[in-house]
Chain A
Amino acid sequence: MRDVAVIGVGCTEFGEHWGTSFRDLFVKAGALALEDAGVTGEKIDALYVGNMSAGRFVEQEHIGALIADYAGLATNHVPSTRVEAACASGGLAFRQAVIAVASGMEDIVVAAGVEKMTDVGTGASVDMLASAADREWEGFAGATFPGLYAMIANDYMHRYPLTREQLAQVAVKNHENGARNPIAQFQNRITVDTVLNSSLVADPLRLFDCSPITDGAAAVVVVPLDRAREFTDSPVRVLASAQASDTIALHDRRDISTMDATVAAGKRAFAQSGLAHKDIDMVEVHDCFTIAEICAIEDLGFCKKGEAGKLTADGVTALNGDIPVNTSGGLKACGHPVGATGIKQIYEIVSQLRGEAGARQVDAEIGMAHNVGGTGATVVVHILGA
């Protein structure tokens, strides 16, 4: 297998883009990434597009072809493939691009993610997101996505000493980081009281425990490492690419509060890279809900089970902490256009490793991305190094 590097990244602002279409969001992110990489369209060998549910959010399928067309690559007949794994679609699209380049099959590959979620109402989007879980046996009973994570939170808080205030600190920290990120959907700072006084969505989770409904797109360009210097002086190496599955339904998990797929993918990523936890300088984890960040930190092995709440409250995961988590603002503050999130995580890590993260810059040479589909049925973990 060949070593792989990221040579360019691009991302739209995340938020409510009522005046911009699904395809225009993608084209903007793709153009930014190609410009950053110094690559022209005719050089692209393949496209992988992460997208969860354009079929329901904008009633458009055949996304691979649509994206290739409006990226101006259809008449080049570039192979373009849509990749779907619910909210892990972006991370998985990146992994497919990495595999394609590592295998020697392709040389210059664009991995992208896009979602346009605000063209439908809240009730409809709640229903669409619930399709990331088991429709026949969870959705049928009235399970919503926040509801499933709320059941994780209640199980966790029943067994471990996590306080409601510590849980709120996750959102406070991520808004603090989002306030320093010009592409973030929410750039406002909040307090623990903001979280605790927001409306209940599914007990014990409140509105400010939840990531928002978001429009956005992100794209990155990957090439073989030995060609990276043709394009850039600051390539970022892909040190590990790992993926794992688990049961689709939360009720079938071995342990409701542990995402075994995160544990498995994390272990594989560490094994592939030969790195240890102390080597990781920053992590982008999948905080679709505050409890998800708590579980992710533990399941990736950055602390023992039951300790992530205290770790967060103590500031260990803050920008100036020992292990900054979600420097971008995470899904909570940066926004969560489901298919784009996994690519935005790569965008954030590359920005940090290149020293281009502005007001949220941390001292980092190695970063990790953790992208979850559903309640943990698919997990993708990448490690990147400067």
Chain B
Amino acid sequence: MSVSRFWRKIPQRYNLVGTQCTTCGRYFFPPRSLCPDCRRSGKIVDHKFTGEGTVVTYTVIRSASDQFEHTTPYVLAVVELDEGPRLTTQVACTPEEAKIGMRVKSVFRRVAADGESGTIHYGTKFVPVE
């Protein structure tokens, strides 16, 4: 991912800041600038999520793209935040620990790097909650 494309989303990637449509109350992460329900009559504002959620489904990636190959195997999951929206994320746990329905919370982690001299991408991963 190019520096500008990553840099543009730093607030969302570093702090789990999404959006909310105050017209209908629905929360969005990844953030949306247009509410798919209210469309142009919706009013979108930023919203910082608490970062707690539940694993909806997951997998263990054994064969990855070049950028992630050195981190295999890793747990990839769809997590539903307590406020409602879902996102795709890595869960920092062993393949054996991962299960559907497990409670997780967000943490700040290194996600990937663009080659040897490229940008290091930091962002949100999740860890199991005791």
A residues near B (Cβ < 8 Å) are 122-124, 126-127, 130, 134-144, 146-147, 150-155, 158, 199-205, 249-252, 256
Query: Do residues A155 and B57 form an inter-chain contact, with CB atoms below 8 A?
Result: yes
Q: Classify the secondary structure of B's interface with A.
A: strand
Q: Check: B24 CB closer than 8 A to any chain A CB.
A: no
Supplied contacts A137-B30, A139-B65, 6 more A-B pairs, CB within 8 Å: A123-B64, A144-B63, A153-B59, A154-B58, A155-B57, A201-B62
Query: Do residues B68 and A142 form an inter-chain contact, with CB atoms below 8 A?
Result: yes
Q: Which of B64-118 contact A (CB under 8 A)?
A: 64-69, 71, 74, 76-78, 86-90, 95, 100, 111-112
B95 to chain A, nearest CB (A): 7
The number of chain B residues touching the other chain, given as a range, is: 20 to 34
Q: How many Å lie between the Cα of A130 and that of B121 in the bound state? A: 18
Report if A144-B100 is in contact (Cβ < 8 Å); known contacts: A138-B88, A158-B57: no
Query: Do residues A140 and B66 form an inter-chain contact, with CB atoms below 8 A?
Result: no
Q: How many Å lie between the Cα of A228 and that of B71 in the bound state? A: 57
Q: How many Å lie between the Cα of A140 and that of B95 in the bound state? A: 20
Query: Do residues B78 and A251 form an inter-chain contact, with CB atoms below 8 A?
Result: yes
Q: How many Å lie between the Cα of A198 and that of B8 in the bound state? A: 41
Q: Check: B39 CB closer than 8 A to any chain A CB.
A: no
Most B CB atoms within 10 A — which of A126, A142, A154, A155? Answer: A142
Q: How many Å lie between the Cα of A293 and that of B48 in the bound state? A: 39
Q: Quick one: closest A residue to B28, CB to CB?
A: A252
Q: How many Å lie between the Cα of A37 and that of B88 in the bound state? A: 47
Q: Check: B120 CB closer than 8 A to any chain A CB.
A: no
A271 to chain B, nearest CB (A): 25
Residues of A within 8 A of B63 (CB): 122, 126, 144, 146, 201-202
Residues of A within 8 A of B90 (CB): 141-142
Query: Do residues B78 and A250 form an inter-chain contact, with CB atoms below 8 A?
Result: yes
Q: Check: B10 CB closer than 8 A to any chain A CB.
A: no
7 pairs from A and B in contact (CB 8 Å cutoff): A123-B66, A142-B76, A142-B112, A155-B100, A203-B59, A203-B95, A256-B56
Which one of B57, B67, B76, B111 contacts A256 once the chains associate, using CB atoms below 8 Å? Answer: B57
